[in-house]
Each structure stands twice: as structure tokens, then as C-alpha cells.
Copies of this chain bind each other. A is one copy, B any other.
Amino acid sequence: MSVHVAILGATGYTGAELIRLISRHPHLSIRRLGAHSQAGKAAGEVLPGLSGDLAAMPLLPADKSLSGDIDMVFTALPHGAAAACVKAALDAGKKVVDLSADFRHQDKDVYAEAYGQPHPHPELLSQAVFGLTEYARDKLKGASLVANPGCYPTATLLPLLPLLKANVVDADNIIVDAKSGASGAGRSAKTDLLYCEANENVRAYGLPRHRHTWEMEEWACTFSGQKAKIRFVPHILPMTRGMLATLHLKGDNVAAWHGILSDQYASEPFVHVLPEGKLPQTSGVCGSNCCHIGISVTGSDEAVVISCLDNLLKGAAGQAVQNTNVMYGWEETLSLDTIACWP
């Protein structure tokens, strides 16, 4: 059995990772590559890592990307633009994993506030499953539309949810100071993303309130039942991949937090809590679909919890494939690595 796949937005960084992962997946087969602005070229002209048949595949405009015998669509498009493609795909009976932000919110008004524009297809919101895999397996099975989470919300919610659920963290006083590799900013030719501007440089951005803050707060509440206030400050670092989220937390019973986190993720293939006193680093996860979590208790009522993931994998394409594996009832780790490509 082979599920025929179209990838829309195939020539961005997330698209490139989708191609890599799906091309080695035993049950998925790439049949269409959509890349509107590059349509007419072969994939290998735009993506340096391809060769052979994949390099020769034509890049298609949006309207040709879904034609024919496609079973499933991955949309790696800008928010706003993704929704129309998602609708077209669903209308044509295809399953969709959407990597944009368009279906990550349950309420169209929250989307409008976070993204500064009305939602293009609010009627579809209710059927979307928010694909933070470890918390969504039941709903993912058989889902037709998966909203793949943002990289920052994934890096924040994985360490935060167990503590919120255990009711040990001060939910009004959560600070997330996040550091991301530059690939999270995408492949647009902007001056501030040039090598010479991003190299040997670090800066915060997205203040006073980055769009992913709404997503974090919404799903922290939905998954834990607790209303959380998150002060979120992202930074861009001089590295291609990798994301580290430093959670400055206050709460009760901090000595128990390591155990709470360890218990939650004890049998997870991709989420690992490091031994007490050991802190994660992004190079320990890049190239894999893993999230590593560490904790340091810094006072009687406070702790620093740190998570790391590869923003293009567990933060995007990897989690999308993980979700696909769950949707179809396949082994969850298919085509995904659990060991970092280190160094």
C-alpha cells in the first residue's frame, strides 16, 4: 500500500525536509511538488540536496498540485495562503496535514487577533485536530485535517503541560525565553536574513507579543484545563537549525517536577527527560524528531525548565510525519530518526 502525496510549498526549508522524510517513508510516495513562484523549474534547480528522479520532478503551480491520484496533502505555505489550498484538498476528499498557522486556533476571533486578518475559512476550524502528537493521538487517528503546531508552541508545551496538569506551576507567572535557529524565519530573500547580518549576531524579535503566544496560551489551557499567562520572548541565533526554550517558572513542590516530567514521557519515543542536573543542548536533537527536556531547581519555589528540538523536524516536518503515522495507524517512528545527526 502506498499513499500518494502532494507537498505544497515544496521549496521552502520545511518543504525540503518533508521531501527528505517522505521520500524514505515506506508507505508514502511523493507525486506532486507545488511551488507557485518557482513553477516550471525542476525541483533540483531550487533545492541543492536532491538528485536523481526527485531532482527531476517538476515544480507545479498551486492549481496543478492536487490534480489526479493524490491521497494526501502537506501544505507548507504561509498563513493566510494555506487555507484555500486546504479547503480545495478537503473538498476533493484528500487528507491534509497543514503546517501553516491557519488551523491552529479553535476560535476564529483568536486567529484574527493573532494574525491581524479574518480567517479565510472559519467553517473548517472545528474539524482540525491540533497535532501536538503526544497529546492528540486519539483524535489524530482517522482525522482528515491536522493542524501541525508551531515550533515555539511545541517547544513550550511539551515541558509545560505536565507541570500545568499536575497543578504545581504558577500559571500566571510563566516566562518563556526562546532561542531559534535562522531557518525558522523561512527562505525569503530579506536583508536581515542575509548571512552577514545573521552571522555572529543575536537579537530578540516579535515583541511586544509574538503570534505564537496566542497558540501557546490556547493549547496550554485546552490540554491542561488551566488558564496560563505566558510572557514569551523569542530570539534568533546564528545557527541554521535548533530551538531552545528556557522556561522561568515559579510554583510548588519543585523537587517533584523532574519526576512529573519523567513519568509523563517515560514511554515516548521522541520526548526524553534528561537525568536530574543535566541540561539539554540543541545539537543533541538536530536531525532527529526528538525533544529533550532538562530541569534545574533554582530555589524553594522556582525552577528553570529547558527544552530543545529541531525546529524543522519536531517543530515542523518531523512532527507532520509523526502525525501522519498516527493518522494512518502506522508505527509512529516510521522514517523519523531518534538519534541526532551530531556533530
Contact = CB atoms under 8 A, between A and B. Distances in A.
Interface of A: 13, 16, 19-20, 23-24, 47-52, 54, 175, 177, 179, 181-183, 187, 189-191, 193-205, 207-209, 231, 233, 235, 237-242, 244, 246, 248, 272, 279-288, 290, 292, 296-299, 302, 304, 306, 337-343
B284 A342 contact: no
A343 to B, nearest CB: 4
Contacts of A187: 191, 194, 196
A-B residue pairs, 5 tightest by C-beta: A49-B340, A48-B284, A49-B342, A203-B281, A207-B296
A342 to B, nearest CB: 4
Contacts of A194: 187, 189, 193-195
A1 to B, nearest CB: 20
A274 B303 CA distance: 32
A282 B203 contact: yes
Given A203-B281, A298-B208, A339-B19, A51 B290 contact: yes
Contact of A200 (B191, B239, B279): B239
A201 B242 contact: yes
A24 B195 contact: no
A241 B298 contact: no
Contacts of A50: 339
Contact of A343 (B177, B235, B240, B281): B240
A191 B49 CA distance: 15
